[in-house]
């Protein structure tokens, strides 16, 4: 089997999606599965749909095209403001896109008219994250322009949290978003179908606060993929945190004399090397993976292993367990940043476990777990 590779347990992604979907259903909220961290890998997207996601969303049109090329016909939303240079592709592949710029919306409208279509627009409102979004006071005027523009239809409004600034959503911001939906309808007429409250960072809030009246959609990636709350990094009980495993191969296991600290420039490295040299029974191991493949700081090594350092193609660790053999494999867990980079790395293969497309036998439904912060 080839290394490095990422093993993806599709059953765990189906389970996680189902758990999140069932819990949000009690709040009248549907789940849009976000596939950007897996570069629009169709099998993961399909697992999200199998688990009950009503549609998919991705930030990049190349990923959306990958999903369409794999035969997925569900609604797919572009969640990054479209580039002017890509409006034709956006209209071709996505029913709906999130927007913040009237010039992009006008270009989408023109592209939609050329294709004889109507493209759906969700207006993203800035509610504290300081990334994309229309200022709340400008929303009404822009919504009105969208409503009057042929080729596009106003489908909803949305907000995003905890991406750039780390600011988590609150009951007050959710209530403000609902008010904005009401005000926009009051001003523009058409019913705002979608009020998309945010991403994985909203889950703890919407599950604990019953007053999130008009929020009827969340765009969920990280919590489904990794079973964690992105704000705290805490695992969520009832979700699998091990749907993805990175597997790297051991290429060297020899000890090295610790260099004299006088020749070293990096104080942190000196400390780490001292630590390793003091652990007399530790083996120094090199794995064939490096900064070019993933975010090394986002890896969780197996118990008994400590990171010494990494370069573009090597990961050097000290192993306090039985000395691994050259050619053996080491299994490593990834956080969101490590996963996202590893999925995009050209030298890392993806191995799908429990792929229905191959087995054609859906496994029995497992019981939906209670979702709680642990």
Ligand X SMILES: *Cc1c(COP(=O)(O)O)cnc(C)c1O
Residues in the chain: 374
| Interacting positions 153-172 with ligand X (CB under 6 A) | 160, 163
For ligand X, the binding residue among 34, 47, 177, 250 (CB under 6 A) is 34
Taking 3-state DSSP, the helix, strand and coil percentages for the chain, each rounded to the nearest 5, stand at: 35, 25, 40
Task: Kindly write down the DSSP assignment for every residue of 25-90, as one continuous string.
Answer: HTTT-EEEEE-GGGTT-HHHHHHHHHTT-SEEEES-HHHHHHHHHTT--S-EEE-SPPPGGGHHHH
**Which residue of the chain is nearest ligand X when measured via CB?**
221
Size of the site for ligand X (CB under 6 A): 13
For ligand X, the binding residue among 204, 230, 238, 290 (CB under 6 A) is 230
What are φ and ψ of residue 62, in 5° steps?
Answer: -60, -40
215 binds ligand X (CB under 6 A): no
Distances (CA, A) of 122 to 40, 77, 84, 103, 270: 21, 9, 17, 15, 52
* Candidates 62-70, 135-143, 213-221, 324-332; binding stretch for ligand X (CB under 6 A): 213-221
231 binds ligand X (CB under 6 A): no
CB within 8 A of 76, min separation 6: which ones? 55, 56, 57, 58, 64, 67, 68, 93, 94, 95
Q: Which is nearer to ligand X, 225 or 276 (CB)?
A: 225
222 binds ligand X (CB under 6 A): yes
CB of 225 to ligand X, least distance (A): 7
Evaluate whether 108 touches 90 at the Cβ level (below 8 Å).
Answer: yes
Q: How far apart are alpha carbons 315 and 121 in whole angstroms?
A: 45
Which run of H or of E encompasses 10?
helix 10-25
* Candidates 112-120, 217-225, 253-261, 338-346; binding stretch for ligand X (CB under 6 A): 217-225
CB of 199 to ligand X, least distance (A): 3
19 binds ligand X (CB under 6 A): no
35 binds ligand X (CB under 6 A): no
CB of 85 to ligand X, least distance (A): 20
Q: Which is nearer to ligand X, 36 or 333 (CB)?
A: 36
CB of 287 to ligand X, least distance (A): 27
Q: How far is CA 211 from the centre of its chain?
A: 26
107 binds ligand X (CB under 6 A): no
97 binds ligand X (CB under 6 A): no
What are φ and ψ of residue 368, in 5° steps?
Answer: -75, 130
| Interacting positions 36-75 with ligand X (CB under 6 A) | 36, 59
Evaluate whether 184 touches 134 at the Cβ level (below 8 Å).
Answer: no
200 binds ligand X (CB under 6 A): yes
Could you list the residues that contact ligand X (CB under 6 A)? 34, 36, 59, 79, 160, 163, 199-200, 219-222, 230
């Amino acid at each position: 089997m080839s290394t490095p590779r990422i093993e993806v347990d599709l059953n765990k992604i189906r389970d996680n999606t189902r758990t999140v979907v069932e819990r949000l259903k009690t709040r009248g909220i549907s789940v849009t599965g976000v596939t950007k961290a897996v570069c629009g890998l169709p099998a993961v997207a399909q697992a999200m749909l199998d688990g009950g996601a009503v549609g998919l969303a991705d930030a990049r049109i190349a990923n959306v095209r990958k999903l369409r090329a794999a035969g997925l016909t569900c609604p797919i939303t572009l969640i990054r403001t479209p580039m002017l240079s890509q409006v034709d592709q956006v209209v071709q592949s996505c029913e709906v896109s999130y927007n913040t710029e009237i010039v992009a919306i006008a270009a989408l409208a023109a592209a939609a008219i050329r294709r004889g279509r109507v493209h759906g627009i969700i207006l993203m409102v800035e509610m504290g994250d300081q990334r994309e979004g229309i200022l709340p006071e400008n929303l009404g005027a822009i919504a009105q322009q969208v409503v009057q523009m042929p080729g596009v239809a106003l489908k909803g409004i949305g907000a995003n949290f905890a991406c750039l600034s780390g600011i988590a959503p609150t009951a007050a911001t959710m209530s403000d978003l609902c008010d904005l939906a009401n005000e926009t309808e009051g001003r523009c007429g058409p019913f705002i179908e979608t009020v998309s409250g945010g991403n994985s960072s909203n889950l703890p809030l919407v599950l604990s606060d019953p007053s999130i009246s008009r929020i009827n959609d969340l765009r969920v990636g990280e919590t489904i993929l990794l079973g964690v709350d992105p704000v705290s990094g805490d695992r969520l009980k009832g979700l699998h945190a091990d749907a993805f495993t990175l597997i790297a191969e051991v290429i060297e296991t020899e000890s090295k004399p610790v260099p004299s600290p006088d020749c070293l420039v990096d104080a942190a490295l000196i400390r780490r090397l001292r630590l390793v040299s003091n652990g007399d029974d530790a083996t120094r191991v090199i794995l064939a993976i490096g900064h070019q493949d993933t975010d090394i700081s986002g890896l969780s090594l197996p118990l008994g292993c400590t990171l010494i350092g990494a370069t573009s193609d090597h990961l050097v660790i000290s192993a306090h367990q039985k000395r691994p053999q050259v050619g053996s494999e080491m299994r490593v867990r990834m956080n969101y940043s490590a996963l996202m980079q590893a999925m995009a790395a050209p030298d890392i293969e993806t191995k799908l476990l429990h792929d229905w497309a191959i087995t054609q036998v859906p496994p029995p439904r497992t019981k939906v777990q209670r979702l709680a912060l642990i």
